[in-house]
């Protein structure tokens, strides 16, 4: 079955996480994505262990499926000539070079690519963008988490500020780049013109500040560290049981009343300290102490299911292996398998044109010769490009 983006061709020059994740999202839904690596390879190829039987790191494997893989030395003019041949057939270009790199090479969007390929959509993932007080600075997820305040709102009073345990900034930037590309493709159907998509880690991280930014703008509130609790809602916290801990969130008074009934203490819902959410937030330490006493002798996983069956949002605190082997994970198609490769599936479900695993992540330069041949290079020309180091089928050492 063809994907929703069948017929869209993407040239992905990006490395590490945000850009490759964007490219993978497009590839999963049917776009032809050609990943162009530098001579030394995407550095995440070396981010291990673990590595699979072909020597591909698990990190690289998680964000580079469904792509054709070639390698070019874009620092030389002959490499850029090959890239321009690729772009002549492409709808989308993704890069995450340091800002100014493409311009230095004479292939910047404004001056060159938009003129030569007016329908091309060029998406750039960067740390801070090209200009402004922080423009041009490099950015990695953890550093951006720190400089945009995400670290400051994560953790408990005891732990202090803590980095969020998944690269949420990189991933959200990749998603935002993907959204921007799809918007630009849709707009192109009206205007016939491409455009530049500017997705930065800095902007994406700031956009995640819900509800902290609204709390600040409306009430001048500086966020506190709430650990497993919530600043605007109670109860919304992690509670002990005799098995796994469970997170319980009662988003309204009806859910709180039902929670108290299921915990065997319905009168708690009529306690003046806990009658409304505002009351519960004002008296959160007392509320959570009451609830901890009522949950500590329950069996966590079955009780969390019982709560959900009765309309109270809850979840047992599972670990990654538990989640990946969970029946509902399988039911939702969130583990994909292909030719011995296994990884997380695509979360965007379309009814007629679903995402699918068509090829597992590939070794460095696996498609270099084939893609060059499709661009019209003869076998002798391909051999010469590889021999000269302009195109590569093996990682350049040193």
Would you tell me how many other CB atoms lie within 10 Å of the CB of residue 388?
12
The answer to whether the beta carbons of residues 279 and 225 sit under 8 Å apart is no
Mean per-residue pLDDT of the chain: 96
Rounded to whole angstroms, how far apart are CA atoms 37 and 142?
A: 24
Q: Write out the E strands in 180-322.
A: 196-200, 236-239, 246-249, 314-316
Query: In the chain, what are the domains?
Result: 9-208+331-392 (3.40.50.10540), 246-316 (3.30.1540.10)
Convert the pLDDT of each residue in 184-221 to its tens digit: 999 999 999 999 999 999 999 999 999 999 999 999 99
pLDDT at 320: 96
pLDDT score at 381: 98
Please say if the pLDDT value at position 305 is more than 90.
yes
Number of neighbouring beta carbons within 10 Å of residue 342 = 14
pLDDT at residue 250 in the model: 93
CA quadruple 12, 14, 16, 17: dihedral sign: negative
Residue 1 pLDDT: 64
3-state secondary structure of 117: coil
Angle, helices 18-28 vs 168-191, to 10°: value is 50
Q: What is the DSSP letter of 236?
A: E
- pLDDT tens per residue, range 241-283: 999 999 999 989 999 999 999 999 999 999 999 999 999 999 9
Which residues pair with residue 246 across a beta bridge? Answer: 239, 316
The tokens of 46 are what?
């070396």
pLDDT in tens, 162-189: 999 999 999 999 999 999 999 999 999 9
**Tens-place pLDDT, residues 100-145:** 999 999 999 999 999 999 999 999 999 999 999 999 998 999 999 9
The confidence score (pLDDT) of residue 315 equals 96
Report residue 324 as tokens: 């990946």
| Contact between residue 145 and residue 205 where contact means Cβ atoms under 8 Å apart | yes
Number of Cβ within a 10 Å radius of residue 311 = 12
* Active site amino acids: 170
Predicted model pTM: 0.93
Write out the DSSP string of 25-79. Answer: HHHHTT-EEEEEE-TT--GGGGS-S-B-TTS-BHHHHTT-TTEEEEEE-TTSHHH
């Amino acid at each position: 079955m063809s994907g929703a983006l069948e017929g869209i061709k993407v040239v992905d020059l990006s490395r590490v996480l945000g850009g490759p994740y964007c490219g993978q999202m497009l590839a999963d839904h049917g776009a032809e994505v050609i990943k162009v690596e530098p001579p030394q390879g995407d550095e995440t190829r070396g981010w291990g262990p673990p590595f699979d039987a072909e020597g591909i790191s698990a990190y690289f494997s998680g964000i580079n499926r469904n792509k054709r893989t070639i390698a070019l030395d874009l620092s030389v003019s002959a490499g850029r000539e090959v890239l321009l041949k690729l772009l002549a057939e492409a709808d989308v270009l993704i890069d995450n070079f340091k800002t100014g790199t493409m311009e230095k090479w004479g292939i910047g969007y404004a001056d060159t690519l938009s003129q030569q390929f007016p329908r091309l959509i060029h998406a750039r993932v960067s740390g801070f963008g090209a200009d402004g007080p922080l423009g041009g600075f490099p950015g990695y997820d953890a550093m951006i988490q720190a400089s945009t305040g995400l670290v400051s709102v994560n953790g408990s009073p005891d732990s202090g500020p803590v980095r969020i345990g998944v690269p949420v900034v990189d991933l959200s930037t990749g998603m935002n780049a993907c959204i921007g590309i799809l918007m630009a493709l849709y707009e192109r159907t009206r205007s016939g013109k491409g455009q530049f998509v500017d997705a930065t880690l800095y902007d994406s991280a700031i956009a995640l500040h819900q509800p902290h930014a609204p709390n600040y703008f409306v009430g001048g509130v500086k966020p506190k560290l709430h650990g497993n609790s919530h600043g605007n809602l109670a109860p919304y916290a992690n509670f002990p049981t005799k098995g796994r801990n469970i997170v319980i969130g009662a988003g309204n008074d009806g859910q709180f009343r039902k929670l108290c009934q299921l915990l065997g203490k319905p009168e708690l819902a009529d306690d003046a300290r806990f009658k409304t959410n505002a009351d519960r937030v004002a008296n959160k330490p007392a509320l959570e102490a009451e609830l901890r006493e009522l949950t500590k002798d329950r069996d966590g996983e079955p009780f969390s299911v019982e709560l959900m069956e009765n309309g109270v949002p809850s979840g047992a605190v599972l670990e990654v292996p538990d989640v990946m082997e969970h029946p509902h994970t399988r039911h939702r198609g969130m583990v994909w398998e292909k030719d011995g490769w296994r990884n997380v599936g695509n979360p965007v479900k379309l009814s007629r044109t679903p995402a699918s695993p068509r090829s597992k992540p590939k070794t460095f330069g696996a498609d270099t010769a084939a893609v060059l041949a499709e661009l019209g290079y003869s076998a002798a020309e391909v051999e010469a490009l590889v021999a000269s180091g302009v195109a590569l089928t093996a990682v350049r050492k040193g």
